[in-house]
Amino acid sequence: MQINKIIEHIKSEYGAGPEFLWPGRYPGYAVFRHGDNRKWFALVATISSKSLGLKEDKEIDVINLKFDKNQTYDFAETSDHIFPAYHMNKNNWITIWLDGTLPNEVVFELIKKSYLLSAK
């Protein structure tokens, strides 16, 4: 599963482990934060595909990442696996569907961008 590789990459590259802030209500949601300023740079979750406007209703793994302000809609148009953020500010965050269609290297670069954008 791609989500496991993403989580391992974040741990090894940024030293950030997953924090499960809502274990009762949303046990599959984990945030990743900077160690110094505690700002989020990623959120991984398992959600309904309908939450992203997809026709088929199934559970999918996603990652939300910080993105350039007000460019998320333009960027989301470049791939059918990148969306304006689910459950976050759609002007500042994107959601990536982690089904293996986008190569890990592409996702890793977007994680790096999110990490840098949310740094002090």
| pLDDT at 87 exceeding the cut of 90 | no
**Euclidean distance between CA atoms 3 and 44, whole angstroms:** 8
Residue 51, CA distances (Å) to 11, 15, 109 in order: 27, 30, 25
Kindly calculate the radius of gyration of the chain based on its CA atoms and give it in whole angstroms. Answer: 13
Give the pair of three-digit tokens for residue 32: 């990743």
Query: What pLDDT, in 10s, does the model give residues 91-109?
Result: 789 999 999 999 999 999 9
The pLDDT of residue 90: 77
Q: For residue 1, is pLDDT > 90?
A: no
Domains and CATH numbers, the chain: 2-117 (3.90.1150.30)
Q: What is the pLDDT of residues 24-77, one digit of tens each?
A: 999 989 999 999 999 999 999 999 999 988 888 999 999 999 988 767 666 667
Alpha helices in the chain (DSSP H): 2-14, 72-76, 104-117
